Amino acid sequence: MKNFEVPIIYRSPLISAIKKKRQEVDKMKKDFSPTLLDFGPLQIYLARHFGFCYGVENAIEIAFKTVEENKGKKIYLLSEMIHNPQVNADLQNHGVQFLQDNYGNQLIPLESLTAEDIVIIPAFGTTLQLEKKLKQIGIQTEKYNTTCPFVEKVWNRSEQIAKKNYSIVIHGKPNHEETRATFSHAAINAPSVVVSDMEQAKNLASYILEEKSADEFYEEFKGQFSEGFDPKKDLQRIGVVNQTTMLASDTQAIADFLKQTILTKYPQQEENGAARFADTRDTLCYATNDNQTAIRHLLKTKADAAIVMGGYNSSNTSHLVELCEEIVPTYFINNEEKIINENKIIHYSLHQKVEIITSDYLTQNSPLKILITSGASCPDALVEGVINKLSSYFKLSTSVDEMIKQFE
């Protein structure tokens, strides 16, 4: 796999040594067991896979090279490069300006741009409509397009099944940048609708089975269907693709449920019913799959707590948190400074959508066992920062520097 030029501030000597060693002994990535960092009174279990993925490193490399090679020019990002506050802040400190917020609301009028300006398309991709507007201004985005290839894979898969007269059902968060981009690319080729979860999939099934009227569909799925969508006609043949960072198990469950709904609709023609549901391959990216699988293996370790690192608006990271919360007390943080001391931690609640403070988050167990992972847009340096912070509260039998040497 290609090695990217990512700023050294995002790298970690400890994590790099661990990942390199694991890769050397497990080239086929079949071993999903965690890595134990045994400091004596503190035992940290690192997930087998975590941190920057291919798409994120590619986007970061392009963005920082663009800044370096275009001094004096106005450089814009359509929205956040990735969902990590440190990376986005670093780009802004280098003079990069955001044109939109995460929900597509304009921060800087497109009318103020000129053909001489540079616009970077983030890893999530963008809509065809916005791309067209930029080209009308005279801005060429191809050179500065950091769209993740695994997001483009979803677009290609949508186009393939659209050519076979299937409508597209997208499992994703309707307001997420990637889902908006995927919807745009799907809708240009076929009738398309977004479902956010199983509950919405069940609601969609009622229209497949013609249990509800078209008027109810237009109200219930407002803002989530393509222009001219006819639920009676366009839900007879469907295929499911997804936002690449969703939970794999959720997407599979939705696809299985909708396929069964199609078969129920055509009970006398099971073979024909199957043909009405596109045989879509899984469109989750490799990193999402690997990280989620690694979490499930990490959670086989009986531990006192789990710490998940990443941006609070990161979809793939939030799903890792959800998996951990089912098993062990879990703390979702975006940097080591959220660890106030050995007694208090500030962490993000997915349920309350705010940061909260928890006391006595570290138990008195000896050794204390902590599970750690991070999302695909979280720098390894932040993970090492958490390890250093936690280890500072103990009299270690092995130092962090000595731990690095064990993996060299």
CATH of the domain at 354: 3.40.1010.20
CA 237, 239, 240, 241: dihedral to nearest 10 degrees? -140
| Mean pLDDT over the full length of the chain | 94
**Tens digit of each residue's pLDDT (9 = 90 or more) over 147-174:** 999 999 999 999 999 999 999 999 999 9
As for how many domains the chain has, the answer is 3
The whole domain housing 248 covers 164-275
188 plus 227 within the same structural domain: yes
76 plus 107 within the same structural domain: yes
Q: Under 8 Å CB-to-CB from 41, ≥6 apart: which residues?
A: 366, 367, 368, 394, 395, 396, 397
pLDDT, average across residues 264-293: 79
**Where is the domain boundary, 275, 296, 322?**
275
CA distance 348 to 350: 6
Binned at pLDDT 50, 70 and 90, residue 274 comes out as low
49 plus 60 within the same structural domain: no
Q: Which residues are catalytic?
A: 178
pLDDT, average across residues 50-60: 94
The first and second tokens of residue 376, run together, are 């695909």
pTM summary value: 0.92
29 plus 58 within the same structural domain: no
Task: Give percent of the chain above pLDDT 70.
Answer: 98
Assess if residue 152 is contained within a domain.
no
Assess if residue 2 is contained within a domain.
no
Binned at pLDDT 50, 70 and 90, residue 285 comes out as confident
pLDDT of residue 266: 81
Binned at pLDDT 50, 70 and 90, residue 93 comes out as very high
Binned at pLDDT 50, 70 and 90, residue 131 comes out as very high
CA distance 293 to 247: 10
195 plus 290 within the same structural domain: no
